[in-house]
Amino acid sequence: MIYEELKVGLYVCRTDVHTFGTDAFLLTGFCRYREKDLVCDLGTGCGIIPLLMQRHRPPKQIWAVDIQPDAIEQLRLGIEKSGVRNIEPICADLRELP
């Protein structure tokens, strides 16, 4: 596992299996949300998008959902190292969400 610093004090944990590319940065740039919003990232992987949302006026709450326990663990490590409090990692199958 490798920690990559996205901004001073903000880290994402990546592996060869769960990594990211420039598309995550582009997609995050297209997102429109308000600081009071609840955002849900389905298929979050290593959690790059919820973590990138922390760089500028993050939303109130982010649900980061993935079916793979390893991906959710990577996200938890990134959250812990970054001291982020508004991201909730959820290990679940999208077909079983309410």
Instruction: DSSP letter for 2, please.
Output: E
> What is the pLDDT at residue 56?
85
The number of beta carbons lying within 10 Å of the beta carbon of residue 7 is 12
Question: Tokens at residue 76, please?
Answer: 């938890």
Beta bridge partners of 10: 7
Residue 97 has pLDDT above 90, yes or no: no
Mean confidence (pLDDT) of the chain: 94
Once rounded to an integer, what is the mean pLDDT over residues 3-19?
A: 92
Residue 68 has pLDDT above 90, yes or no: yes
Domain boundaries defined on the chain: 2-96
> What is the pLDDT at residue 98?
80
> What is the pLDDT at residue 49?
96
Q: Which CATH number fits domain 2-96: 2.40.10.10, 3.90.1330.10, 3.40.50.150, 3.20.20.80?
A: 3.40.50.150
Indicate the pTM of the whole model.
Answer: 0.90
The greatest distance separating any two alpha carbons of the chain, rounded to the nearest whole angstrom, comes to: 37
